[in-house]
Amino acid sequence: MPAAIQAFNSAGLLTFSSEAQTLRYLGTATLVQTVPSTNFVAGYAKYRFDWAGDFIIAAIDCPTSANTSARIESVSIDPSIVGPPPGGLWPWDIIVRQGSGTFQSSGIPNVATPTVRVWGYVINEATSGLAVYNASGQLTANFNYQPLYFTGMSSFGDGDTSAAIQTQSPFLVIGANSIYPMIATSSVGYEEWTPGNGGFGPYDYYIYGYRMYRSGMTLYRTPVVDQYYALYEDAYVAPSLINYTPPQSFFLIDFGPYLAF
């Protein structure tokens, strides 16, 4: 059975469905910890956002320089929380890597602390105005609040390091439908560092991922490879076998065409 409410854009693509989740803007996350980089290990910045919903999207401004490629690495609930969330709010941890534009002598980027904005599922709360429910009676949209707005969709072709985008104001990139998927809510792909374990020496590290940034109407991805390479710690892949620029599609999100923060 088709959704009760659907809307389409001029290209015939689905832009609203009462059976889908329309995320609302929640606010900015709080910086709670900064762990500096060393010559051997990348540091990080840790943010916290408390929210009752069971899912959030966190975003930073898409960098406009390859050297300032701060990115969100992970979004997760504090693993120390067991059972119901304290006070009804889940403590979400958001980890930001790299991006200050300065580097350790080994080349490891220093940590930036950008503004982190958060969107999340709507939750039932007393409001007036337009609220939308799906066939199961679950709240799927609440237009009393500013929704997350998808403004563009594009792809990197195999071997490409740039892709045309439809807007100059993407908040971030969401990876989708790719062999090596980008991390949702991140401005780069993925990357792993270790101060040396497994078969590596005590000061070795491996890394694989992208620095991603926007210039005008183009989004660039710079493959990052260094010293030792692996897709996964227990599944070593020789450097020559890795496709550093695989086909990769992505979405751009924003606050919408009318409002700016």
Q: How far apart are CA 166 and CA 81, in angstroms?
A: 41
By CB under 8 A, tell whether 9 contacts other proteins.
yes
Which of 34, 35, 55, 197 is the binder for other proteins (CB under 8 A)? 55
By CB under 8 A, tell whether 261 contacts other proteins.
no
Report in angstroms how near the CB of residue 13 gets to other proteins at its nearest: 2
Residue 148 makes CB contacts below 8 A (sequence gap 6+) with 22, 23, 24, 25, 57, 119, 253
Report in angstroms how near the CB of residue 145 gets to other proteins at its nearest: 8
Which of 68, 98, 100, 151 is the binder for other proteins (CB under 8 A)? 151
By CB under 8 A, tell whether 153 contacts other proteins.
yes
Residue 96 makes CB contacts below 8 A (sequence gap 6+) with 44, 45, 46, 47, 60, 70, 71, 72, 73, 111, 112, 113, 114, 116
Q: How far apart are CA 208 and CA 159, in angstroms?
A: 16
CA nearest to 122, candidates 256, 250, 18: 18
By CB under 8 A, tell whether 242 contacts other proteins.
no
Report in angstroms how near the CB of residue 3 gets to other proteins at its nearest: 5
Q: How far apart are CA 124 and CA 137, in angstroms?
A: 11
Element (DSSP H or E) covering residue 72: strand 71-77
By CB under 8 A, tell whether 133 contacts other proteins.
no
Binding marks (x or -) toward other proteins, 76..115, rule CB under 8 A? x---------------------------------------
Which of 28, 106, 113, 146 is the binder for other proteins (CB under 8 A)? 146
Q: How far apart are CA 211 and CA 199, in angstroms?
A: 27
By CB under 8 A, tell whether 136 contacts other proteins.
no
By CB under 8 A, tell whether 123 contacts other proteins.
no
Strand partners, 75: 94
Q: Select the span of 38-46, 78-86, 179-187, 220-228 touching other proteins (CB under 8 A).
A: 179-187
CA nearest to 124, candidates 137, 139, 144: 139
CB nearer to other proteins: give 114 or 189. Answer: 189
By CB under 8 A, tell whether 22 contacts other proteins.
yes
Q: Can you tell me which residue has the tokens 């919408």?
A: 256
Q: How far apart are CA 22 and CA 122, in angstroms?
A: 7
Q: Select the span of 36-44, 71-79, 98-106, 212-220 touching other proteins (CB under 8 A).
A: 71-79
Which of 29, 60, 174, 207 is the binder for other proteins (CB under 8 A)? 174
By CB under 8 A, tell whether 8 contacts other proteins.
yes
CA distances from 208 to 120, 177, 237, 239 (A): 29, 19, 11, 10
Residues that bind other proteins (CB under 8 A): 1-3, 5, 7-17, 19-23, 55, 74-76, 129-130, 135, 143-147, 149-153, 166, 174-177, 179-185, 190, 231-232, 235, 249, 251-252, 256-259
